[in-house]
Chains A and B, each alone.
Chain A
Amino acid sequence: GQNIDQPTEMTATEGAIVQINCTYQTSGFNGLFWYQQHAGEAPTFLSYNVLDGLEEKGRFSSFLSRSKGYSYLLLKELQMKDSASYLCAVRLNRDDKIIFGKGTRLHILP
């Protein structure tokens, strides 16, 4: 089976930094994605890692360690609008489909 694990919920304060972790055990690996999903809306693409290391994009950064089956999404200078679910997703080698974890619901406190 395919397992993608991430915490169910996290809480952080406006202006702070938060790190959302994701571990995966999958039959193949050809890239890891992070998506943001506001309640009742579609997922929107945040980042993509296929090689080990850190990818930075504005306030958001994503890290990947393929040997550890581990990724994290780092959000800096948190804003209230960052309150959303963050979905970790893996593309398997053989197929082009992406499979999603259950998502981490992030609550931002003023």
Chain B
Amino acid sequence: EPEVTQTPSHQVTQMGQEVILRCVPISNHLYFYWYRQILGQKVEFLVSFYNNEISEKSEIFDDQFSVERPDGSNFTLKIRSTKLEDSAMYFCASSATPLLGYTFGSGTRLTVV
């Protein structure tokens, strides 16, 4: 069964450092998303991406965040200067059409120290 792949599975970084979280969506999917989940809290929408541009972003997705689809397969989330409160599980998701549910990757656990 096709799956969304995320790397790394865990990342520890120092406050103020830049991190790049990587995702390989399912190959025929056109819609891509990043969500995050702070420990014990709900899954929160960050950004959606379609046709090589951001479709929508939440208020969480400020200037410190950016997304890219550098080639035909990867979809990345960059956090320029990490803060302690960025510590969370970050999930990438993709879908062939918004009419159906997303397929989530297994997540990257980001810990900012």
Contact = CB atoms under 8 A, between A and B. Distances in A.
Contacts of A44: 104
Nearest to B4: A42
B101 A96 contact: no
B66 interface: no
Interface residues of A, number: 23
B98 A45 contact: no
Interface residues of B, number: 23
B74 interface: no
A86 to B, nearest CB: 12
A96 B55 contact: yes
26 contacts: A35-B101, A37-B43, A41-B106, A42-B104, A43-B43, A43-B91, A43-B104, A45-B101, A45-B102, A45-B103, A48-B100, A48-B101, A87-B42, A95-B55, A95-B56, A97-B48, A97-B56, A98-B45, A98-B101, A98-B102, A99-B45, A100-B42, A100-B43, A101-B42, A102-B41, A103-B42
Interface of B: 31, 33, 41-45, 48, 50, 55-56, 89, 91, 98-107
